[in-house]
Amino acid sequence: MIAIIDYEMGNLRSVQKGFETVGYDAVVTRDPTVIDRASHVVLPGVGAFGDCVANLNRFELVEPIRRSISQGKPFLGICLGLQVLFTESEEFGSHQGLDIFKGKVKRFSFAEHHGKGLKVPHMGWNAIRIQTPSPILKGIEPESYVYFVHSYYVEPAEPEVICTETTYGIPFVSSIAHDNIFACQFHPEKSQRIGLQLLRNFGAWN
């Protein structure tokens, strides 16, 4: 059973339906006992970094998340669920993340490109360049297109965790992989066939 953590940061139905479509049972929950029992854990999220951390604290989900990761369960972070794993974000001042990975979350700043069509948020389909092979990307061609919508990106202090990069004005880290963790900036649940393949690979990961 896959547990999708619900902390009131966006609609999770499409993530759940995505897993069901590729043959995996998934439950949307914030119950620590359900998360503890799950074989796989997914942390999605859309919205602001500060709200995200505040809600994880309010619903007492930080410990269950850390526990799942330290137990070695396959863990998938999506969008904010990637960013919040890092040390801190510069979104609206500075906010502390879970610090599972060292590094910062930074805002796209294209002041110097203004008028050249680089808009924020980075919204739409863009290609991923695979830097480090991962079982989560099995069957996914290099330069595949996936759907992004975000204004911030992660900058890991340890480059060895970088799994894919994408270019939007600058190259940025579009996914990371380390031990039992895979986390991506893009939305597999909105990325049609490629995204469903990624969810299928995650469901099969152990």
Partner 1 sequence: MLTKRIIPCLDVKDGRVVKGVSFVNLRDAGDPVEVAKLYDQAGADELCFLDITASHENRGILLDVVSRTAEQVFMPLTVGGGVRTLDDIRHLLKAGADKVSINTAAVQNPEFVTEAANRFGTQCIVVAVDAKQVSTASENQARWEIFTHGGRNPTGLDAIEWARHMEAKGAGEILLTSMDQDGQQDGYDLPLTAAVSDAVSIPVIASGGAGTLDHLYDALAVGKADAVLAASIFHYRTYSVAEAKTYLFNRGLPIRQVNGYES
Catalytic amino acids? 79, 187, 189
Min dist. Cβ of residue 169 to partner 1 (A): 9
Binding mask 35-64 for partner 1 (x = CB under 8 A): -----------xxx----------------
Q: What token pair was written down for 36?
A: 């503890």
Phi, psi of 5 (to 5 degrees): -80, 125
Nearer to partner 1, 161 or 199 (CB): 199
Tokens 């942390």 correspond to what residue? 43
Distance CA 64, CA 38 (A): 11
Distance CA 200, CA 20 (A): 9
Beta-carbon neighbour count of residue 23 at 10 Å?
10
Orientation angle between helical segments 192-204 and 13-21, nearest 10 degrees: 70
Binding mask 117-146 for partner 1 (x = CB under 8 A): x-xxxxxxxxx-----------------x-
Min dist. Cβ of residue 149 to partner 1 (A): 5
Site for partner 1 in 174-203 (CB under 8 A): 189-193, 195-196
Min dist. Cβ of residue 100 to partner 1 (A): 23
Backbone region of residue 87 per phi and psi (left: phi > 0; alpha: psi in -120 to 50; beta: other values): alpha
Q: Give the interface with partner 1 as residue ranges (CB under 8 A).
A: 10-11, 13-14, 17-18, 21, 46-48, 110, 114-115, 117, 119-127, 145, 147-151, 167-168, 189-193, 195-196
